[in-house]
Amino acid sequence: MSDLSGLTALITGAAGGIGVALAEAFAKAGARLALVDMKDCADLAAKFGPGHRGYTLDLSDPAAIAPMIERIGAEMGIDLLINNAGLGMVFPAEEVRLDDWDRTMNINLRAPWLVSAAALPFLKASGRGRIVNLSSQAGVIALDQHAAYGASKAGLIGLTKVQALEWARHGVTVNAIAPTVVDTPMGALGWSGEKGEKARRDIPMGRFVRPPEVAAAAVFLCSADAGMITGDVMMIDGGFTMQ
């Protein structure tokens, strides 16, 4: 069902908690990996065997994005794009500093916009292009102290829907995944100790998401069978946001 053989998957934030799980799942489905992160991903790519590559890119530098995406497209093609890189900072809404606000928006929202735009010619050439944007439950509901993060992830859902509308004619689907807390370093940052225990109890399924569960959803959305799913926001939240 999810055979991605012969397709190149570009994954941003590949060195992070969800990124590594994405790389493992896409490699297992047969995709060729183009792993992108501000950290060096060459060793990670090599772990999956020949044909996979790592690229170092700081997504906060807008001028650096298009040249790197064009290089990757020329070297490997781009059929599947997973905009996964992101960062989260928690502050009361009235205390967010301007540079933290800008950094959050630049990496969580501006970068996916620029990466997707630069990748579009390659996705069009693919004939079955796919984009999956890593949003969050924070883009759908209010989470205490998540003003900048929630705004960036809600913005990413808005971007997803407009890209889906405009790029359907090119055979490109664009969807968002919105998990609750995922067991990664980022998840632990805001949700450890008693706060984390309470958050787990408040999720009907009683636990946080495991990174491979996010990766499996992304693989499905990139599969041939998901060709009619576009503009969707897939919640992976154990039922938290239905309450």
Ligand X SMILES: NC(=O)c1ccc[n+]([C@@H]2O[C@H](COP(=O)([O-])OP(=O)(O)OC[C@H]3O[C@@H](n4cnc5c(N)ncnc54)[C@H](O)[C@@H]3O)[C@@H](O)[C@H]2O)c1
3-class SS at 226? helix
Instruction: Write the burial class of residue 141 (CB in 10 Å: 0-12 exposed, 13-18 middle, 19+ buried).
Output: middle
Between residues 85 and 120, which has the closer beta carbon with respect to ligand X?
Answer: 85
Q: List residues binding ligand X (CB under 6 A).
A: 13, 15-19, 37-39, 57-60, 84-88, 107, 134, 136, 179, 181-182, 184-187
Whole-angstrom CA distances from 6 to 104, 177, 213 are: 34, 24, 23
Write out the catalytic residue numbers: 149
Residue 128 is given by DSSP the state S
Between residues 23 and 123, which has the closer beta carbon with respect to ligand X?
Answer: 23
How near is the Cβ of 6 to ligand X at its closest, in Å?
Answer: 26
How near is the Cβ of 202 to ligand X at its closest, in Å?
Answer: 14
Do 24 and 3 meet the contact criterion of CB atoms below 8 Å apart? no
- Which amino acid is located at 178 in the chain? A
Which residue of this chain has its Cβ atom nearest to ligand X in the complex? 16
Residue 243 is given by DSSP the state -
Beta pairing partners, 35: 11, 54
Between residues 112 and 126, which has the closer beta carbon with respect to ligand X?
Answer: 112
How near is the Cβ of 164 to ligand X at its closest, in Å?
Answer: 19
Reference 69, options 36, 44, 26, 45; nearest CA is 36
How near is the Cβ of 83 to ligand X at its closest, in Å?
Answer: 8
Between residues 84 and 116, which has the closer beta carbon with respect to ligand X?
Answer: 84
